[in-house]
Amino acid sequence: MEQAEITALGHSLRRIDQNLLTHNAPDEVQRIWFQGGEPYFDLFVELREEQIEWFQLTLRGHSLSWSRKCHRWQTGITNELQTDDLTFYPASKIIESDRTPDREFFHLTHHILKTRAGEPLFDRLLALFHSTPTHFC
């Protein structure tokens, strides 16, 4: 992917109104949702006391997530581009874990997030790429 496209993707991420998120998480967990400028491009982050507990980025049928619980990266494939199922509901998202880590998507996600360097939340996300070994679940 060309750098111009990566930059456009990163800059297209817009924070969604917090009130649109369901509030079934413990009170001390803050959920943040960004939507990108193309369908199925989402970034979800859960914070506890300003520390990232979990995040997930999905783009074009691929997913990368990280969790503080296991300190490992997880890649996967989403069902969002599969529209042949009669029961398909566009607001649902099912992620099937990759058997072999998608290192290319890992690096692409890192490059997309780097386009927002200097913003506090994105700087914390970027720090995970530097402080967490690239061990995959």
Query: How many whole angstroms separate alpha carbon 60 and alpha carbon 104?
Result: 13
Does the model's pTM come out above 0.75? yes
How many C-beta atoms lie closer than 10 Å to residue 78's C-beta?
19
pLDDT over 70 (residue 108): yes
* Nearest alpha carbon to residue 7 among 33, 32, 36: 36
C-alpha to C-alpha distance for 96 and 99, rounded to whole angstroms: 9
- The alpha-helical segments, DSSP class H, found in 1-137 are 3-12, 103-114, 120-131
- All residues at 6 or more sequence positions from 66 whose CB lies less than 8 Å from its CB, including other chains: 52, 54, 55, 56, 72, 73, 74, 128, 132
pLDDT at residue 25 in the model: 56
Q: For the chain, what are the domain ranges?
A: 3-131
How far is the C-alpha of 32 from the C-alpha of 20, rounded, in Å? 10
Which tops the pLDDT comparison, 112 or 82? Answer: 112
Q: Tell me: pLDDT of 133 over 80.
A: no
Q: List, for residues 47-99, the tens digit of each pLDDT value.
A: 999 999 999 999 999 999 999 988 889 999 988 766 665 555 555 678 888 88
Q: What are phi and psi of 120, to 5 degrees?
A: -50, -45
